[in-house]
């Protein structure tokens, strides 16, 4: 992801300095015009903004911990995925060193960084977001989530939960057809995709907190339907673990029926 982000900034004409823990992985970026710093300390403060994108919160703290002295007075954007609380605590840590800080959440994958449809959530001071948005725009449309530094991470993780839920559903659907000897490719093309496309908007619009299922969704009928889906899955011999999303929905519908 770091490579994709740096590449998008270089393509937009920015001067970019890059650092990666394992040296030698920036060859393509250097060929495009990036300068490779030999250490984290060397990479901080040389540009208007320092963008961090490592594996997780722990790795960012490990990388920046030894160089906090150099961070004072700089501007930092952390695009590393983390939890909302991690983002708030990290913001507090940055405040200790007088760092102007935005937390981010990347709503893109490396090949789509900078493309139409890609967007990046940011949270933190609105004036800082407004100032940095033109610099950050080549990465994907900048979208402000709010002053609370935890909000970008919260929305990022919540959106990913939605995506992984759908992913679990379509993987289970395909496993079910495969286990039953069906034509998986034809099923994907002729049934699954048109069905998912038809249902995407109403599914997102209708999403509600787990305790409440609106009456018009007929939770009793849905509970019966979910039991039938689980029965079909068992009949086909699909591992029960792959049907966890159906059990989550069944639990919710039964709760709604029970009132």
Q: Which residues bind ligand NAP (CB under 6 A)?
A: 1-2, 20-22, 25, 53-56, 59, 62-63, 80-81, 106, 109-110
Q: Is 42 or 62 the residue whose CB approaches ligand NAP more closely?
A: 62
Q: Is 152 or 250 the residue whose CB approaches ligand NAP more closely?
A: 152
Alpha-carbon span 243 to 168, nearest angstrom: 8
Q: Is 75 or 80 the residue whose CB approaches ligand NAP more closely?
A: 80
For the chain, strand residue ranges (E) read 17-18, 35-36, 50-52, 75-78, 100-107, 119-123, 141-146
Shortest distance, CB of residue 33 to ligand NAP, whole angstroms?
20
Shortest distance, CB of residue 171 to ligand NAP, whole angstroms?
18
Q: Which residues of 128-147 are buried (b: 16+ CB within 10 A; e: fewer)?
A: bbeebbebbebbbebbbbbe
| 206: CB partners within 8 A, 6+ apart | 214, 217
Shortest distance, CB of residue 23 to ligand NAP, whole angstroms?
8
Q: Is 54 or 175 the residue whose CB approaches ligand NAP more closely?
A: 54
Place of tokens 């948005």: 133
When computed from its CA atoms, the radius of gyration of the chain, rounded to whole angstroms, is 23
Q: Is 78 or 222 the residue whose CB approaches ligand NAP more closely?
A: 78
Phi-psi sector, 13: left (phi>0), alpha (psi -120 to 50), beta: left
Return the closest-CA partner of residue 91 out of 140, 129, 131, 124. 124
Residue pair 102/132 in contact by the 8 Å Cβ criterion: yes
Return the closest-CA partner of residue 62 out of 78, 92, 40, 43. 40
Q: Is 20 or 83 the residue whose CB approaches ligand NAP more closely?
A: 20
Residue pair 181/235 in contact by the 8 Å Cβ criterion: no
Shortest distance, CB of residue 7 to ligand NAP, whole angstroms?
12
Under DSSP, the state recorded for 123 is E
Q: Is 111 or 181 the residue whose CB approaches ligand NAP more closely?
A: 111
- Which secondary-structure segment (H or E) carries 133? helix 126-136
């Amino acid at each position: 992801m770091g490579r994709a982000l740096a590449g998008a900034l270089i393509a937009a004409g920015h001067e970019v300095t890059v650092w990666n823990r394992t040296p030698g992985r920036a060859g393509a970026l250097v060929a495009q015009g990036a300068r490779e710093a030999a250490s984290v300390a060397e990479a901080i403060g040389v540009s208007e903004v320092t963008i961090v994108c490592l594996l997780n919160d722990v790795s960012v703290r490990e990388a920046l911990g030894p160089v906090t002295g150099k961070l004072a007075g700089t501007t930092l954007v952390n695009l590393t995925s983390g939890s909302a609380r991690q983002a708030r605590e990290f913001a507090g840590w940055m405040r200790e060193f007088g760092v102007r800080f935005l937390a981010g959440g990347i709503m893109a994958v490396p090949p789509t960084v900078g493309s139409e449809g890609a967007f990046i959530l940011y949270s933190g001071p609105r004036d800082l977001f407004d100032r940095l948005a033109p610099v950050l725009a080549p990465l994907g449309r900048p979208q402000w989530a709010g002053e609370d530094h935890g909000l970008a991470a919260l929305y990022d993780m919540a959106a990913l939960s939605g995506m992984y839920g759908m992913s679990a559903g379509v993987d289970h659907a395909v496993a079910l057809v495969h286990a039953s000897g069906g034509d998986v490719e034809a099923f994907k093309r002729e049934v699954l995709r048109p069905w998912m496309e038809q249902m995407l908007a109403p599914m997102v619009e209708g999403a509600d907190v787990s305790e409440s299922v609106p009456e018009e969704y007929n939770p009793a009928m849905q509970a019966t339907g979910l039991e039938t889906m689980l029965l079909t899955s068992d009949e086909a011999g699909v591992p029960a673990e792959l049907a966890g999303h159906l059990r989550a929905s069944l639990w919710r519908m039964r709760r709604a029926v029970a009132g």
